[in-house]
Amino acid sequence: MIKLITFSLAALLIVSCGTSKKTPAPSIIPGEAQLTAIKAKFPDATAQTLSEGYSIYTGACTNCHGQKNIFKRSEASWMHEIDDMSPKANLTAAQKDALTKYILAMKATQPSESK
């Protein structure tokens, strides 16, 4: 009986999540659009640069606090935060560069509804 109730509750939860009207948070995984956008500014940037930046952002940058919302901060504010936080995360110059390009690529392709 308990099992049946648990199962029904789980099913209900899954169904209600699926029909929720809340817009999902925009993806922060870099793809083709982000690569095109960053190459316009930095022709030397590659998919590898962006995936390294993404790994740092979701890795070393979450050692002390949760993930910050990329879209809720201006480019200028991000440049300031990256200067502040890179030493805290012990990033090398190359890692800081990859992180910067990743953030700029995400900002350049930011969905307008999350501005």
Binding residues for ligand HEC, rule: CB under 6 A, are 60-61, 63-65, 68, 81, 85-86, 88-89, 91, 99
Closest CA to 57 of 84, 111, 107, 96: 96
Instruction: Give 13 or 94: the residue with its C-beta nearer to ligand HEC.
Output: 94
Q: How far is the CB of 24 from ligand HEC (least distance, A)?
A: 22
Question: What gap in Å lies between CA 30 and CA 28, rounded to an integer?
Answer: 6
Q: Is the dihedral of CA 59, 45, 28, 31 positive or negative?
A: negative
For ligand HEC, give the closer residue by CB, 18 or 106.
106
**8 vs 77 by CB, closer to ligand HEC:** 77
Instruction: Collect all residues with Cβ–Cβ distance below 8 Å to 114 and sequence separation of at least 6.
Output: 25, 26, 71, 72
Q: Cβ 68 to ligand HEC, closest distance in Å?
A: 4
Cβ 31 to ligand HEC, closest distance in Å? 20
